[in-house]
Amino acid sequence: MDTTYKLAKSIVNTNYENIPHHVVEITKREILDSLGCGLAGSGTYGIKEIVEIVRDWAGKEESTILVYGGKVPAPEAALANATMIHALDFDDTYDIVANHPGVVAVSTGLAMAEREGNIIGRQLITAIALGVDLSCRMGLATKFRKPWLHAGGGWHLVSLYGFFSAAGTAGKLLGLGEKEMLNALGIAYHQAAGNVQCIDDAALTKRIGPGFAARGGIVAALMAQRGISGAHNCVEGECGIFNLYHDGCDLDKLTVALGKRFEQENLSFKPYPCCRIGHRYIDATLDLVKQYDITPREIDRIEVTAGNKSQSAWEPLEVKHKPRNTIDAQFSLPWMLACAIVRGKVGLGEFTQESIKDPGLLAVAQLVRPVYDFSFDERLDSPMDIKIKTKRGEFSKKTGAIYGSPKKVMGMEAMVNKFRDCASYAAKPIPKKNIERAIELILNLEEVHDIGEVVQLFTSRGRKI
C-alpha cells in the first residue's frame, strides 16, 4: 500500500489533543506572522491586479480578501491572500530545505474556516499544523535530481508541496474521511507544480505560486468531498511525485512519528524581508558595522565566502549589483549587505522601488564580491566568512546561528513588533484597535469560538477598496 494512504490516515485521525503544546504555540506564531506579512504585502506590485482578477471572476461570497475587503469563493480568496503573504518574502521558513510552509496552510485555513462557518480556533490550529507538517516532511524526504540548482533542485517547494499542504488543511476543515482525503491528495498531485525560473527572471509568479497552491488544494478537497477520485499512489508509484519529479524519497523522513512529532519544531521566522540565504550574512554584517563603527565612505571592498547553495543570491552579478526591481533586490546578497552597511537595517523600507534607485546603496552594493568555495556541502547554517576591507584595516567575521531560527529564536515581543510594523505598510489603513485585537485573539487562538471574528479585523474599516 502506498505511503499516501498513511499520510491521509494521519491527517484524518490527528486531533488537537494529539498536537504538543509547543507546536500549538509555534502554529499560532505562524498565523500571526503570515497575516502580518499579508498586510505588508497587500500594497506591493501585482497584488491589486490579482484582487481585481479574483473579483472579476465573482461567485459565491464565502471568504474575505485581506485588506481589500469583500468576499469571493474560498479558492479565489486563498489565491489572493497567499499571494499577499508571500509577496515580500518575509514569511516563515523551513531552513532544512527551501520552503515557506505557513503561507499556503494559513491562507487555505482562513479561507476554509470562513467558508464553513463556526470553525473554532482549535480546529484551525490543527488543520494548519497538519498542512505545514506535511509540506515540510515532503521537502525533507526528497532526493533532488539536481540538488545544486537553487535550494530545492530547481523546484519552488512552497508551491510544489503547497498543493498537498492545502489539500490536507482544507480537507481537515471539511471533515473528510480517509478515502476522501486520499483522493484530495491525489487531485492535489495532479495540479502540483512550481519552479524557480521565476526568481532568475524576477517574475511576479514567485509571489503568486503559493496562491496557485492554496487555490488548487482547496479545489482538490472540495472535489474529493463530492466523490471525485485522484491517484492513490502519489508517493511510491512509478509516476508518483518523488519518482517522476525527483530522484526518489526517504520514506523514513516522510513518515517517522507521523502525527506525534511535527516539523514546526524546526521552523524559522524572518527578521528581514528577503531571501533566507542572505540572513546569516546580514546578521554578521550588522555586527561588524556596529562593533567597529564602519562607515560606507571608508570601505574599499567587501568579500563574502559563497558556496554551491548561495549562488542564486550572487548570479548574474551585474543584476545583483543593480537590481532591476524589488524581486531582484530580495534575492541579491550585495543589495542586502549594502542596506545593512548604509542604513544599519534591512527592513521593509529597503525593498521599495525608491530604495533600489538610492545611489548610496547602489555604490556600496558594487563593492560586495563573492569568493567561491565549492569544497564542502554548503548548508544554510554553514559558517561563512565576511571581510570588510577599509582604509583603516580589514574587519572580518564568520556567520553564526541565524536570528529567527530555532537556535536563535525570535522572541514573542519581536514577533509582535514585526506584526505591527507590517500592518503599517498595508495598502489601506487597518484601525489600530483592530491590530491590537487581532494580536490578542491570535495569541489565544485556542479559545476563539469563530475564526470569522479574526478575519474580519483585517479589512480596511470594513470597506471595499
In a domain, 405, yes or no: no
Q: Are residues 342 and 452 in the same domain?
A: no
292-313, pLDDT tens digit by residue? 999 999 999 999 998 877 777 8
Q: Are residues 212 and 315 in the same domain?
A: no
Q: In whole angstroms, what is the distance from residue 445 CA to residue 458 CA?
A: 16
**For position 420, what pLDDT does the model report?**
97
Mean residue pLDDT of the chain comes to 94
**For position 465, what pLDDT does the model report?**
36
In a domain, 465, yes or no: no
Judge whether residue 127 has pLDDT over 50.
yes
Q: Are residues 389 and 433 in the same domain?
A: no
Is the pLDDT higher at 311 or at 122? 122
Q: Are residues 152 and 288 in the same domain?
A: no
How many structural domains does the chain have?
2
In a domain, 161, yes or no: yes
Q: Are residues 40 and 165 in the same domain?
A: yes
Q: Are residues 140 and 83 in the same domain?
A: yes
Judge whether residue 32 has pLDDT over 80.
yes
In a domain, 80, yes or no: yes
Cell numbers given for 139: 521537502
346-398, pLDDT tens digit by residue? 999 999 999 999 999 999 999 999 998 888 777 777 889 999 999 999 999 99
Confidence of residue 460 (pLDDT cuts 50, 70, 90): low
**For position 399, what pLDDT does the model report?**
92
Identity of residue 259: G
Q: What is the CATH number of the domain that holds 67?
A: 1.10.4100.10
Judge whether residue 323 has pLDDT over 90.
yes
In a domain, 464, yes or no: no
Q: What percent of the chain has pLDDT over 90?
A: 88
Q: Are residues 244 and 100 in the same domain?
A: yes
Q: Are residues 56 and 165 in the same domain?
A: yes
Among 376, 398, 420, residue at a domain's last position: 398
Q: Domain residues for 371?
A: 276-398
